[in-house]
Chains A and B, each alone.
Chain A
């Protein structure tokens, strides 16, 4: 019995040791995959914020910007700081409530979380001068990928949407998941069925077409030839259950990455990047991982160099 008891204690000790190791690891080292749209709608540059101010309303968002040279007004009693930040094009006045870190001075890049207040200022309740890195998942866009020998910097765009053809190609593997699809509304009448309260129309990428039914009245943006980004649930039977609309800007992210790029990195490849979005809206990646969609699948999905 004595031995059995010591075993129990030993077993519990091992379990506790591993549990601690595991929990610590999970707490400190787990990260959440951002979809591009999600990142773009929660972390904005000053310009992005100004453009979308109306749709943001009083939702809590993070605005990233560089502190301008204009004086930082500090009211010790009310714990209130007024300053302005810029992305190089536009300025935004911030009124921040809370302790101000000493590092906050002109020229520093900082992220402010809060809500817009009437009068065009941004009421922040939280700020950081060293934002945490985030993980973003997307697909390398069919846009120029540049690389410079001296800076060894790769610059590319990632997107959170599929083209109609790409969706068709991957639909079975995507499963029943929310996706975004970019396409141009096909030049034929969009039909609105009041009885069923739904709109049916089709989008195309020039090669393939996708017909969707939208359980809502025709939004203004759905006109023949217009480029739209549809949001919806992809079904493995090849249909898209449309639930809403988004924009191209919301679903794209320009990335710069210093480091060696894996061989399989190319247009159409799914990537996960770790890094931070800067005041200029460019995402600076410290790590790039590719999920090769094509390593074992027929090269029809690969680009001929």
Chain B
């Protein structure tokens, strides 16, 4: 019953999307407001219909309606309510529905927000959104129906894979999907601006916040994915350069580039074609990311398995890129720069450089990711690159980006005199030098191993951090002088008055912290494997681990085998840790690592296995500064919120 309702709703939503898209085009080109109004209503109706379908699936999941193949595959009677809800996006069909719903929601909000403005842009922006929406609805109608029924109703469902029963499952897929889906909005406005030749600042102003929100969601989605992989997959790392991980990173990189270069366009009317290309690239990379999660063209641990959806996506992406490129080319005369860059030593120029680096990083990652496919097509042989390739290429890029992050804010708009720049640079340079000296001294007295690459990374991080503090300090002192506020108040109101700029610096600090975490954990991580009999002990780094023995006990859901270890850090007792393995029927056993996360380092214990005598094998890692990656993610979140606030207010006041 509810299943039929859901399927019918998806089908009607597809029909309505196609109708509304057509009506928008006809209404706008033939100047028929009634038709446009009908299409607007249609867009709201699509949101309503997709919401009905989503509620139907949610209801079916919560009601344990095992007649639905999807419900039977991802939940069971034993699955908790929270993970039953998470079952919504555990599979291909459901995650498509979520994608579709998020897009429909954004489409409806866009219409509502612009009900009294941007009247010329809206028909074409909505058209773009609806066409994208139609792709996802068509995928569900023709290839992956979430409401597919089973011939017989099973007594119980298969349940969610225990690997997915992690808080990460609640937030990582949702934020990532929201990021993917959301990039449709800025893209849609770009298309609308191109079609209507209204290429002034209006569409940029309209999409800036949207871009920022989805850039944030995608970024957070990636960081949450790293965190999840770190605590759940049990290999001691957080980023494996898997194609699907790369797919989430690439649109984020191009969107980061766009967020910077749009400032250049808003200030000087430059880089218009470049910005159009970036927004197009971001959108198509997001669709591409959704695609490779659903296809077998690249081997990845994250894919859903083949679903026959390849042709749909490939057609959409190919046709979309051709149309969009043609559109940009046909509007080249409207996209001419209003100004020329005055000097190489200008904020504009440094942003352009940061853009080039970000885009180059994207290209490198894209080539590396697609290499197996390209080589299969071109040479008939599958050639692949692994983590070493990506690390050796992306590592330097990340360092260059952090360097630019320290440099750009010190360079003024339009032009800066070399003398003044040098003057600005002195303090950050001293900080970098001091960091290098401290690290080299530590290496000399053998406290840490000597890693030149890591020393360079940390010096550059110190450089970038000092720049931010310098900027904050300068602004605060100025307010203190002019308004007579005390320093604390001055700082708060500095950020409050110019939230985009000074709040944005929180994001920079976040990125620097992430870079430090990545740098430290890849350079100074210790990894050891050993076997211990009960009572035996082993030294890893400065920790001594004493294996107490195995414990085996059932819980309502599964069997647990747990190895207890007492830990001493140097001479100090540091308590008890457990590394476990869960056995759940229907699924492979799942490891749960023992993790002690600290400000300076994480102690990470994997239970590799055991035998009848009670001896157990462990893999133990000491990963420095990993905690700061997650803190950096939090700062990104906070900083973006601060940056988002003002424009909305100012818009409201205007």
Contacts and interface: CB of A to CB of B under 8 A. Distances in A.
A149 B386 contact: no
Interface string B47-83: 0000000000000000000000100010000000000
Q: Interface centre among B341, B608, B610, by most A CB within 10 Å?
A: B608
Nearest to B162: A263
Contact of B356 (A6, A14, A173, A175): A14
Contact of B344 (A6, A150, A259, A299): A6
Contacts of A152: 529, 531, 608-609, 617
B92 A296 contact: yes
Interface in A1-46: 3-4, 6-7, 10-11, 14-15, 18, 21-22, 25-26, 29-33
B344 A266 contact: no
A142 to B, nearest CB: 15
A84 interface: no
Interface string B573-589: 00000000001011111
A149 B531 contact: yes
B141 interface: no
Nearest to A172: B306
Given A260-B234, A302-B586, 13 more contacts: A4-B340, A10-B344, A21-B396, A25-B392, A26-B371, A31-B383, A31-B384, A262-B234, A263-B233, A274-B386, A295-B301, A298-B69, A298-B73
Given A31-B386, A33-B382, A296-B91, A263 B588 contact: yes
Contact of A263 (B349, B357, B383, B590): B590
Contact of B372 (A3, A33, A147, A265): A33
Contacts of B343: 3
B344 A3 contact: yes
Given A14-B353, A15-B360, A263-B163, A25 B393 contact: yes
B479 interface: no
Interface of B: 69, 73, 90-92, 158-159, 161, 163, 233-235, 296, 299-306, 308, 340-344, 349, 352-353, 356-357, 360, 363-364, 367-368, 371-372, 381-386, 388-389, 392-393, 396, 529, 531, 583, 585-591, 606, 608-611, 615-617, 619
B384 A18 contact: no
Nearest to B308: A172
21 contacts: A7-B341, A10-B344, A22-B364, A31-B385, A32-B382, A32-B384, A33-B383, A149-B531, A150-B615, A175-B296, A260-B606, A260-B619, A261-B608, A262-B235, A263-B233, A274-B386, A297-B305, A299-B161, A299-B587, A303-B588, A305-B589
Given A22-B367, A22-B393, A152-B608, A173 B305 contact: yes
A293 interface: yes
A107 B80 CA distance: 60
A135 B583 CA distance: 31
Given A14-B353, A152-B608, A173 B92 contact: no
Given A14-B353, A21-B393, A259 B384 contact: no
A31 B389 CA distance: 10
Given A30-B383, A304-B586, A18 B371 contact: no
Contacts of A296: 90-92, 161, 302-305
Contacts of B304: 296-297
A226 interface: no
A158 B42 CA distance: 55
A109 to B, nearest CB: 24
A18 B611 CA distance: 50
A103 interface: no
B300 A291 contact: yes
A56 interface: no
**In which size bucket is the chain A interface?**
35 or more
A260 B531 CA distance: 12
A152 to B, nearest CB: 5
A135 B304 CA distance: 24
A264 interface: yes
Majority SS at the chain A contact face: mixed
Contact of A149 (B303, B344, B587, B610): B610
A26 B299 contact: no
Contacts of A11: 356
A298 B158 contact: yes
Contacts of A170: 306
B340 A295 contact: no
Contacts of A61: none
A305 B162 CA distance: 14
A11 B529 CA distance: 47
A290 interface: yes
A95 B384 CA distance: 35
Given A263-B590, A296-B92, A296-B305, A29 B364 contact: no
A19 to B, nearest CB: 9
A305 B588 contact: yes
Contacts of A261: 608
A274 to B, nearest CB: 8
Nearest to B590: A263
A299 B372 CA distance: 28
B585 A3 contact: no
Given A149-B617, A299-B161, A14 B384 contact: no
Nearest to B236: A260
- Counting chain A CB atoms within 10 Å of each CB, the highest count among B304, B356, B396, B610 belongs to B356
Nearest to B304: A296
Closest 5 CB pairs of A and B: A173-B306, A29-B389, A149-B611, A18-B360, A296-B304
Contacts of A14: 353, 356-357, 360
A26 B389 contact: yes
A149 B367 contact: no
Contact of A295 (B234, B302, B382, B609): B302
Contacts of B583: 305
B310 to A, nearest CB: 9
A106 interface: no
A181 interface: no
Interface string A160-172: 0000000000101
Contacts of B611: 148-149
Contacts of A29: 385-386, 388-389, 392
